[in-house]
Amino acid sequence: NAGVTQTPKFRILKIGQSMTLQCTQDMNHNYMYWYRQDPGMGLKLIYYSVGAGITDKGEVPNGYNVSRSTTEDFPLRLELAAPSQTSVYFCASSPRPYGYTFGSGTRLTVV
C-alpha cells in the first residue's frame, strides 16, 4: 500500500499566486487532516474531514480552503499565497479520530 501520498514535495510560489496541495490515501480511511509545521511550533491543524462531503476548520484555517469529494482525496487550496504561509504541510488520515498515518510532507516557500 502507498499509504498517504502528498504532491508536490517542494514548491516555491510568488506572493499572490495560488496552488493546490494534493493528498491521496489508499487505506479507505474516513478521517483526513491537514497540518502545517513551522520551526519550533509543532503541528497546527488547518482543516479536517470526517468523511466524503464533510469538512471543518481547525486552529489555523485562514487563507486556505479544502474539499472532500471522495474518500481518497483531500486537496488543500491556497488562493492568494502570502509569506506567512511558508511552511511544511502534512496530510494525515486515520480510520478513527486518532492514530494518524502521515504523508511525507510538502515544503512550500512563498517569496
Partner 1 sequence: GQQLNQSPQSMFIQEGEDVSMNCTSSSIFNTWLWYKQDPGEGPVLLIALYKAGELTSNGRLTAQFGITRKDSFLNISASIPSDVGIYFCAGRGNRDDKIIFGKGTRLHILP
In sequence order, the β-bridge partners of residue 6 are: 23
Phi, psi angle pair for 83, to nearest 5°: -55, -30
Phi, psi angle pair for 84, to nearest 5°: -65, -10
Residue 1 or 98 having the CB closest to partner 1: 98
Please, what is the minimum distance in Å from the beta carbon of residue 99 to partner 1? 6
Please, what is the minimum distance in Å from the beta carbon of residue 64 to partner 1? 15
Residue 16 or 53 having the CB closest to partner 1: 53
Q: Which three cell numbers stand for residue 13?
A: 510560489
Residue 35 or 78 having the CB closest to partner 1: 35
Please, what is the minimum distance in Å from the beta carbon of residue 10 to partner 1? 11
Residues 6+ apart with CB under 8 A from 39: none
Residue 17 or 50 having the CB closest to partner 1: 50
Summarize as ranges the residues that interact with partner 1 (CB under 8 A): 4, 31, 33, 35, 40-43, 45, 48, 50, 56, 58-59, 90, 92, 97-105
Task: Output the CA angle 34-38-42, nearest 5 degrees.
Answer: 75
